[in-house]
Amino acid sequence: MVPTPIPTWTLQTTDWDNLSFTYTPALAVAITLDGMVLDANVVGYGLGYETFSSPIDVDGKRTNLRTTWVENEEEEDGGHYELLGTWGGIDDLNGLADRSMADLAPGSTVSAISLESEELREDIVVGKQPKVSETPLAPGSYEFRFVAIDLMGNEYPSQEVAYEVAEDGTTTVVSVGGVPTS
């Protein structure tokens, strides 16, 4: 299973009425915890930050790791990741969101969970100061889409964008909505 990438794109055009956007690929990376690649969803954003949620298993219990990318032009990489903690998610029985986050305890065994298949992937033992960072995607083929969710829980997915990452890290869009771009 390949990780769900966090693509970095330059927005070219927007059509909010039809949920249609045009992007130019720039960079595709994966978020990592102590070097272990995580799948991630964007769950919040604002001026200067973007918050991600990654499904993980901690010592046999499924939870979500919350991280935030904080933009800072003065830093070498343009910003940094902050580890917010683990979050229990939405209760299946009553639909209520967990109202608290917990620290990721040193010595815990953490396994990445695939967003696509729900399978456990590699696992690590968390060190004293867990580090969240990013790594360039390995060469290969990837897909992504945006999903807008309204207050009633209805989902409105965008078209899939398929792209390839070359050996040199170059990202090329190969199709949008199943239609080849070339």
The label of the residue with tokens 């869009």 reads 173
Q: What is the pLDDT of residue 14?
A: 59
Residues in Cβ contact with 151 at an 8 Å cutoff, skipping those fewer than 6 apart: none
Q: How far are the Cα atoms of 1, 105, 109 from residue 141, in angstroms, in the given order?
A: 12, 35, 30
Residue 1: per-residue pLDDT: 39
CA distance 61 to 49: 28
Secondary structure of residue 170 in the 3-state scheme: coil
Per-residue burial over 152-166, b if 16 or more Cβ lie within 10 Å, else e, is eeeeeebeebbbebe
pLDDT of residue 19: 55
Predicted confidence at residue 132, as pLDDT, reads: 93
Per-residue pLDDT at 164: 84
pTM of the predicted model as reported, rounded to 2 decimal places: 0.73
pLDDT of residue 16: 63
- CA 62 to CA 72: how far, in whole Å? 32
| pLDDT score of 168 | 82
Q: Could you list the mean pLDDT of each consecutive 10-residue stretch along the chain, which spans 182 residues? A: 48 58 61 90 85 93 93 88 89 80 92 87 90 87 76 79 82 79 76
CA distance 145 to 150: 16
Q: 85: buried, middle or exposed (CB in 10 Å: 19+, 13-18, 0-12)?
A: middle
**Among 50, 9, 12, CA closest to 31:** 50
Contact present, 87 and 66 (Cβ < 8 Å)? yes
